[in-house]
Every structure is written in structure tokens, then in C-alpha cells.
Chain A
Amino acid sequence: MNSEKAVLFNQALKIALDRIKAVASDIGEDITLVRDIHGRIRVLLRGRREDQLDRKDLLDSFSSDLSNSLGAYSFPPERALLFASDLLQGEEIIGESSDRRLLAEEKGVKIWLIDRQITGQDWLRQSFKRRTTNPRVTFFSVKGGVGRSTALIIWSRQLAEQGKKVLIFDLDLESPGVSSTLLSDDHLPDYGIVDWFVEEGVGQAGIVEKEMVAVSSLAYDLIGEIKVVPAYGRKTEEYLPKLARCYVESSGPESSSWADRLEHLIAEIEDKEKPDLVILDSRAGIHDIAAAAVTRLGAQTFLFAVDSSQTWKAYSFLFHHWQLHPNMQSVR
């Protein structure tokens, strides 16, 4: 392949946007780009393919142009355009409630993007409407080893000194730490978060839900209390096989996003425990757990960092991505 002529991921979206702007006024309706899981780009238009006879030449030429411009990120011309009628819910997909975001506006024509990704969709999604009302706080760090869990423990104790009921979820499932720091082995509940995700996946959450909260001895001498929902419990046994099944996106027979499932878990336990405050120890790094904990659960988030160029570089990727968030004002 001629590398000088090759189109890379970085360039493809800009090229597509330029090609579309050139014909936007001729097309005369909102245009939605769909970027697939490989990064290939095509265009989704309203209506039915068979109703396009009066602008067939325009659309044929546009398809060819798009296809020729995008290199490895193109579809063949006959597949470069999709119509809503090609899809079961085509009109909804390009409707107001979808995951699309506005890329540009050209001569009154809005150009949108639907970005299909295997992971990471939650970074740009809005918070759920919660049914519980206690405040939630997420502790997040883009790199590990920056004192996030230590700060969480110190703050929890301070809140318990003030008489607060604090409930902590150890969501650092790939590297559970808070669980063992706050609960000695003989204080662990029977089950933990990994057990809940596995059992909830087959409709049995109720069995483990009653046995996954324990009181931390860290606050025994205080008027408040610290309770912990650990990543694992005394009866967890096979942690890795359970962790490997945690991220399934179904709840029993129903399809359900991972973030939805997490919200459900937290709300169920909040209902029972009635805490003054919930603290979510998110795993470090740009991972789907963090995406849910930081952006979707209605939590205030503390972002932890040490002053190093690696840390700020990693945060810059995240902040750059958040520039695209539909509710940028609420991302502070």
C-alpha cells in the first residue's frame, strides 16, 4: 500500500466532513455520519432508498466521492449510503434521543455523528435519572498509585467522625484494594460485586444482594459508620472466572447496558442501607467501569493526579474527548 496516499483514522472524519460540506446544501437535509467499529464511515439519510430517483445522480456521485476519499475507512460506493428504511429503527436512530452528536453545521444543514464503539460509549453519555437521593461521590484517577484509595479511606473516617453513614463500593474490580483495607478477612460479607454481576446475569441477584455489605472496623469507635460493598466476599472463591463474566450486557434474558446494571446494583443497596453518602472507588484508567462511575451515576467526581507529565497526558486524552460531551457545562 502507498503510505503517502493512505488515509489514517485521524484524518478520515475530517475528510468525510469536508466531502459532505461540499454537497450539504444540495442534499438539503440533516446528514448523519455513522462511524463503525473499525472506524469506517458512511452516511445515513432519512427516507427510503427507492424514493431517491429524483436525486439519484447527486447521491451516486456523492457515494463515489466519499468512497474514493476515505481509503481504508471507506465503504464501496453502493454501500456508502444508508437509508433509514434500511434499518428497523432508522428514524429513531437519527432522532433526537439517539447517541448522535453534532459535528458541524453547513448552510443550515446539520451534520451529526453516530460513533459505534465496542467500549467507551459511556464517557459521552448523560447521567441516569436516579431513584435514590443520597449524594454519591466517585474517586477516580487516570493512573494508579496516586493515593486515591488512601484519600478515600481518610475522608470516610472523617465523615464517620462527624456522625455520617458512609457506604463505599469497591469498583476497582481488576485490582480490588479498598475491600481488603477496610475489611479484614473475617469481616468480609459472604459475597461481593463480582458475585452480584454473575448472579444478576441469570436472574439471581436477590440471593447474594442480602449478603454483600459489611461494617468496617475503621469506624467502630466513631458515632457514624463505614459500610463497604467489597469486590469479593468470603464465599466468592473463583474470582477470575467471575470477573470475566462481570461485563456481560444482559440482565437475565433482558439486554441491559453495564452502566444500567451498575446503577441498579447501587440503587438496590442504597434502598436497603439508607446511607448519608455513597463513595464509589472507581478503577483507575480509561476503562468502562470508570466511564460509568464518573459520568453516568449522577456522582460528584474527584479526579486524582500526581504532578507528572504521564498523568497529565493521560488526562488530556480524556478532557479532549469530553469537549464533545453534550452536557459540557456539567463536566467541571
Chain B
Amino acid sequence: METDFRDAAERHWEDARYLVADARLANADQLFGLTAECALKSIMLGLGMKMHPKNPNRPEDPYAVHINKLWDQFVTFAHNRDGMHYSRSMVVDNPFVDWDVNQRYSNRGKISKETVDKHRDGAELVRGVLEGAILDGVVV
């Protein structure tokens, strides 16, 4: 199946908000993390990130990671003149450092409202960065 990070970011975001509205926080939290991950990967592709030569759905190393690690990778990746335009608003501590893709196997009671709010804010920030990249034509 063809990878479309931009669309994936958007649908994860829409679904996360849908779940929050219904107080289903644990899965919403997963989707906020995936929103940010997909949004950043769509920008990184536009800035020249390569996909893995043997797996076209997976970015090349070291970018095939989730948002708990990708945030800082992005800031390092987008250090040149074109990329700094996007990374400059992300030079803050990674709000997803406590997010884990394996949370999907854990009990729903483990995810607090504060954690979800923090991850929603992080996802919103990254969506703002993505918006600039769309207008710039970096993400088509």
C-alpha cells in the first residue's frame, strides 16, 4: 500500500479529536502521536529524506522511528536553510518523549488527561509546521 504521510497525519488528527470528544483518551493519545509523526515525516520527505531502499513504506535509518524519538531527529535533520524554516518552532523539549507506540497494548487507565492534552498540543504545533510546508510547496 502506498505511503501518504500527509493524508495519514490528517486522518489520525481527525480521528483523535473524535475520540477525545467521546472521552476515549487512550486511543486518542496514540493517534495524536501518530499525527505528529506522519506530519513530520511528510515534511522530511519534502526536504529530501529517502525511503528505505528495500522497503518503500519505511524511511531510511535513522528516521524510521516514532515521535518519541523523531522530534529531535527532525530538528537535527532540518538544520539547513530550507529546513530551519520549519524546525525553528520545534526547538523545545519533545512533548512526546513519554509517548510509546506500545501503549496500544496497555490498560486504558494508564493514560491521563494531562498527558493527552500535552500530546494534543504537540500534534497541533506540528500541524502548524506542516501547514507552512504545504504553502511552501515542500509538501505537495
Contacts and interface: CB of A to CB of B under 8 A. Distances in A.
B72 interface: no
Contacts of B138: 36-37
Interface in B82-140: 82, 84-85, 88-89, 91-92, 124, 127-128, 130-131, 134-138, 140
Sorted nearest first, the 4 A-B pairs with minimum C-beta distance are A36-B137, A255-B89, A250-B88, A37-B136
A248 B137 CA distance: 21
B88 A34 contact: no
Contacts of A289: none
B134 A82 contact: yes
Residue from the set B81, B89, B130, B134 with the largest chain A CB neighbour count within 10 Å: B134
A250 B90 CA distance: 10
Given A86-B134, A248-B88, 12 more contacts: A36-B137, A88-B130, A93-B135, A116-B135, A116-B136, A116-B137, A118-B82, A118-B85, A250-B88, A250-B91, A255-B88, A255-B89
Contacts of B131: 87-89
User: What does DSSP make chain B's interface, helix, strand, loop or mixed?
Assistant: helix
B97 to A, nearest CB: 15
A79 B128 contact: no
B135 A118 contact: no
Interface in B41-92: 81-82, 84-85, 88-89, 91-92
Nearest to A41: B137
Nearest to A75: B140
Interface in A24-66: 34, 36-38, 40
Interface string A92-107: 0100000000000000
Contact of B89 (A36, A118, A250): A250
A114 interface: yes
Contacts of A79: 140
Contacts of A249: 84-85, 88
Contacts of A248: 84, 88
A36 B134 CA distance: 9
A175 to B, nearest CB: 20
Contact of A88 (B89, B91, B128, B140): B128
A241 interface: no
B135 A36 contact: yes
